[in-house]
Structure 1
């Protein structure tokens, strides 16, 4: 259940009135002369306010179809933006480099204004980018990086932006293992290193490894089609998609979340139920990489058919047990687990339990639970050859997709980041009331895992924070 992977967000704003604005943004007096500047600073002022009334006023003036709640949710995630620099300024075009106030994430916003018609038409595009060379954050020593990460987690926890657990390891040596915040806000039970957090799409790594195990056993071919393993699959176009394309999200198989999921949420009890619900649906029309939860549901059902075991039994026997992951699983939500943390989502400024958004249980696309200790055990088992061979692991780390501006890539069931010494693999998972991320740096022999029972990007921003400051040697 992903949060990120919104590598490119497009906002099209139709303006029906002349733009007249105030003159103060971010505490600086700004003379707004061009149409493009006026549009940008109007948006930034309203967005950074985090105030529904200001955003409603902006909507009324500039964009009648604009959802105020969408911008409020984005403000909750980012804390607002601060301008790093203006990269280009022309009367009808503006490009601005911005940083999120609560993380190191950089975004480039491009504004284009068209004044040829009766109305002023504006296109605003925001994209994730990597840090330019002149804005690279200085690397710290190992002890300094850990200390800085602890301080950042303290700050975010005190601000109500983090609740969870962090583990950093170098080989077999644990450099940091600590928990922050409350596991249960109502009972004021604190998180510990043993707290079980819902890990969302991090489960995709387990599904991918299971498929690769079956490939090594000769029971599945990466170039085999869905129809080779699910012979009764209803939609003939989707049936032609290969296993490889399911693993790297290029199969066009679409998502599972939306109105149909909301109606059937508690009745979808295993991967087969999802296939019954969505199996007649055709390709989603996307070309190339398009993150697909349903694609991994299909992989889960293929695992079951080929192994003659339930998906859950297979994952438990061939991944969790060999890796000694005794605190990881996908038991239904109605099964009481005393160490499974409730998830809390932000609704109109208040923390609310995410119970009404959860599936019946986790499945092949995500939704299980784990601990920081178990995720480290998974890494050790994966890298030691207990789960798949080194050759197969290397194949899984081959980038089938790479977005140059953001640096985000995807292999066979694993997200890929960085290059050279800082090359890493892992996966993030996120949905309402849950966020987790694992990153493994093979060349540096380091691992960081952060799990949280709050909305994204509560865990991701701390993984990024450490990744940008950890020593390169």
Structure 2
């Protein structure tokens, strides 16, 4: 999450709940499904609703999908869960499939239909069940994504590391062949890699392939480094999480922020500050935004949107302000501090906030489907060089590699960056961003998820032509890093598939 909130894909980040699991079928089964003619749905109440559902879903249009849910779902279903909850199911399914092609009807009655469909990304199979009310207008009571059973079910014994590696390679190869993924993937258990792979092109113009050491834009993942830096300074006694902005920065001109907003609130996105990706930013010469002080005029006059501490609202400006606090408390430039106190002890030799107009080596160019004047292209016809910051910072926009992110995970868990007490403090969830997702909380610059079978911390990042994800499986020892130079949800989609495999 984060920078991508300025540019959401059609469903993408509307995923708030009800994760729909896409389950793989063996290759021979997928090929057999491809050879069959497309099936038709029966004219039963359930069949008609399923047909209408597939038609709208395959348009990939979030507002249309929401309208469909409000118009076609039964009142009882909407009373149990709001439209946003149901939209989350379809958003996750869209992220995994980019649409479905009906293959066959497995069973059908007036009120229930079970169908098999093939996803348009990797050619894998999905089983859907649609239930409707008995009385007219036969509103939809629920849509379920069902396991396909052995050998590809989510149930059964855990997969070996080799089986996980093989499954990930096969899946990402399919995505890459469909031009739905370009980037790098790493899975490790402790200090031993399980899987490493690179796909697609770092530069189309020069036909340079991505490599494991290719540096990708982190998006909002820099927030983890900023939070760790703040905690280091707290551990050193140079500031407190409860300090106000004004206590640390006495000359900060916005008194409403200086007097009320605390470091804790900045770290947890509860400050009421917004995003510096505003009209001022997009109308400005972006080459002048290189140091922390250069960004402050973009938002320094804005009052908090709500009383600090009363709500959660994702804030890039808040983390930019944390960068200024780090500079004041440490006496160092933000970028120097992070290099010395985070990258160096973690061994992250390929990470930094590079100035992209200096043409640093081995950086992946981001490619986006979002062009000028709201143009859209499924071929990602545009690079993102004139959209994003010239130099990233405390809120995001730096560069790293999947191997460096693995090194960060090991350093964090090995307490090379913070003592155990402060590591736990930084990574333990404190606020619930979305009421629908009770398993997910936001800590200090980290998301903290309690999912069946695992406790996962980390962060994602996204923007046009940028999508990255780091998942650290506490207790299980896994680190998963995925980086992409395509629009969201390219990296998130792969990370979710890996999660399904690791937690089977």
The TM-score range, normalised by the shorter chain, is 0.7 to 0.9
Deviation for aligned residue 1:355: 1.0
Structure number having the greater helix percentage: 2
Question: What pairs with 1:285-364 in structure 2 (closer than 5 Å)?
Answer: 285=306, 287-346=310-369, 347-351=376-380, 352-364=382-394
**Closer/same/farther in 2, CA of residues 285 and 102 from structure 1, 3 Å limit:** farther
C-alpha distance in 2 between matches for 1:321 and 1:424: 25
Seen in structure 2, the aligned counterparts of structure 1 residues 214 and 30 have a Cα distance that, compared at 3 Å, is farther
Checking the alignment, whether the CA contact within 8 Å between 1:376 and 1:447 is kept in structure 2 is yes
- Is 1:262 matched up with 2:282? yes
The CA distance in 2 between the partners of 1:465 and 1:77, in whole Å, is 8
Give 1:5 shift.
Answer: 5.7
Corresponding position of 1:429: 461
Question: Alpha-carbon deviation of 1:368?
Answer: 0.4
Classify the secondary structure of the residue corresponding to 1:262.
helix
The 1:425/1:131 distance shift into structure 2, 3 A limit, reads farther
Task: Quote the residue 2:407 is aligned against.
Answer: 377
* TM-score for the superposition, normalised by structure 2: 0.72
Match of 1:12 in 2: none
Q: 1:465 maps to what in 2?
A: 497
Contact residue 214 and residue 401 of structure 2 kept, 8 A? yes
Name which of 246, 258, 263 aligns with 1:227.
Answer: 246
Quote how far apart the aligned CAs of 1:335 are. Answer: 1.4
* 2:427 alignment partner, one of 392, 397, 406: 397
Aligned equivalents of 1:108, 1:447: Cα separation in 2: 34
- Who is 1:217 aligned against? 236
Shift of 1:420: 6.5
What residue is the counterpart of 1:45 in the other structure? 55
Alignment equivalent of 1:207, drawn from 196, 221, 226: 226
Give secondary structure in 2 for the equivalent of 1:144: helix
Alpha carbons of 1:137 and 1:337: their partners in 2 closer, same or farther (altered >3 Å)? farther
Cα 1:45/1:333, change in 2 over 3 Å: same
5 Å-filtered alignment, 1:128-277, equals: 139-239=158-258, 240-264=260-284, 265-277=286-298
Give the drift of 1:143: 1.7
1:237 Cα deviation from its structure 2 partner = 2.4
CA distance in 2, matches of 1:106, 1:213: 49
Structure 1 alignment gaps of length 5 or more: 10-25, 63-70, 84-97, 112-123
Q: CA deviation at 1:100?
A: 8.2
Contiguous gaps of at least 5 residues in structure 2:
5-11, 18-37, 72-89, 103-116, 133-139, 370-375
Question: Which residue pairs with 1:89 in the alignment?
Answer: none
1:137 touches 1:469 (CA, 8 Å); kept in 2? Answer: no
In structure 1, distance between residues paired with 2:492 and 2:128: 16
Number of residues of Structure 1 aligned to a counterpart in Structure 2: 419
- Secondary structure of the residue aligned to 1:177 is strand
1:377 to partner: Cα distance: 1.2
Give the 3 Å change call, closer, same or farther, for CA 76–387 of structure 1 in structure 2. Answer: closer
Counterpart contact for 1:77–1:456, Cα < 8 Å? no
TM-score using structure 1 length: 0.77
CA distance in 1, matches of 2:418, 2:449: 21
Deviation of the 1:49 alpha carbon: 4.1
Alignment of 1:1-20 (within 5 A): 1-3=2-4, 6=14
Cα deviation for residue 361 of structure 1 reads: 0.7
CA offset digits 1:193-232 (Å, max 9, x no partner): 1101111111111100000000001111011111111222
- How far the C-alpha of 1:33 sits from its partner, in A, is 6.2
Q: Distance in 2 between matches of 1:108 and 1:306?
A: 57
Secondary structure of 1:212's match? helix
Is the contact between residue 141 and residue 471 of structure 1 (CA under 8 Å) also seen in structure 2? no
Question: How far apart are the structure 2 equivalents of 1:378 and 1:355?
Answer: 27
Shift of the 285–341 alpha-carbon distance from structure 1 to 2, 3 Å rule, reads same
Greater strand fraction, Structure 1 or Structure 2: 1
CA distance in 2, matches of 1:106, 1:415: 31
1:256-289 Cα offsets, whole Å, 9 max, x none, are 2232221123332222222222111011238522
Q: Is the 8 A contact 2:95 2:489 kept in 1?
A: no
1:231 & 1:282 partners in 2: Cα distance?
17
For residues 2 and 381 of structure 1, the distance between their equivalents in structure 2, rounded to whole angstroms, comes to 26
Which region of structure 1 is more displaced relative to structure 2, 443-452 or 139-148? 139-148
More off after superposition, 271-280 vs 42-51:
42-51
What's the CA shift string for 1:305-347, capped at 9, x where partnerless? 1111111111111111111211100021111122011111124
CA offset at residue 140 of structure 1? 2.4
